[in-house]
A = this chain, B = another copy of it.
Amino acid sequence: MGHSQADKAQTHERIVAIASRRLRERGLEGIGVADVMEEAGLTVGGFYKHFDSREALVVEALAASFGTWQAQIGAQATGGEKLTIEKLIGNYLSNDHRDNPGKGCAISALAADLARSSPTTRKQCTEQVQHNLDLVAGLLEIGDDASKRARAIFAFSVMVGAVSLARAVCDKALSDEILATAATRLKAMATEG
């Protein structure tokens, strides 16, 4: 075996991590093979030693985006203080999340793109949405399961919608207003029935 397998795996991960960030920053179409390889300190040709096609990278990078997002949430849940619904809402609807889509939730960053994407990526998206709904529902304390589920859907819709709007708008005051208003009202709602 030529170069060590560990090196290759590391390179592979580096490429995926870069693609995962750029995917969320620039959309499913906004990610170029040559660009990603250059940012990884490599040249184009080597790409196909790691992936069958650009599409394969997209699929892996999307999975990685979902994975790192869950890991971030998980880290908050275990690290010291417990994760609460208020914290999740505060995080999701923060200026920091709005300004750094590359590190944030892929669903709000790519919702429109995913709607027009291949069955494979839409499937990935569907699973992630279900996962996030379960996560939110699990953080709610009052009500039966059906009520929690319904409120989780409602809350997640607000989060995705408000972040999408806050990012699309080019008036900072309006953008801030959208996030702050959505966060305040959603927190109030979430702690009630």
Given contacts A109-B112, A158-B161, A164-B164, contact A153 B129 (CB under 8 A): no
Give the chain B neighbours of A186 by CB distance below 8 A: 154
The verdict on A165 contacting chain B, using a C-beta distance below 8 Å, is yes
**How many residues in A have their beta carbons less than 8 Å from beta carbons of B?**
50
B150, B161, B174: the one within 8 Å of A161 (CB): B161
**Beta-carbon contact of B154 and A185 below 8 Å:** yes
Complex CA gap A27/B25 in Å reads 16
Q: Shortest Cβ distance from A58 into chain B, in angstroms?
A: 15
**Nearest residue, chain B, Cβ from A120:** B170
Complex CA gap A157/B149 in Å reads 19
Given contacts A111-B168, A168-B107, A168-B122, contact A177 B153 (CB under 8 A): yes
The verdict on A100 contacting chain B, using a C-beta distance below 8 Å, is no
Complex CA gap A28/B116 in Å reads 12
Given contacts A30-B116, A158-B154, A174-B130, contact A125 B181 (CB under 8 A): no
**Beta-carbon contact of B157 and A165 below 8 Å:** yes
User: Chain A interface (Cβ within 8 Å of chain B)?
Assistant: 25-27, 29-30, 101, 107-116, 119, 122-123, 125-126, 129-130, 149-151, 153-154, 156-162, 164-165, 167-171, 174, 177-178, 181-182, 184-186
Q: A150-B184, A154-B181, A159-B161 are in contact. List 6 more A-B contacts (CB 8 A).
A: A110-B112, A112-B112, A112-B167, A126-B168, A126-B170, A126-B171
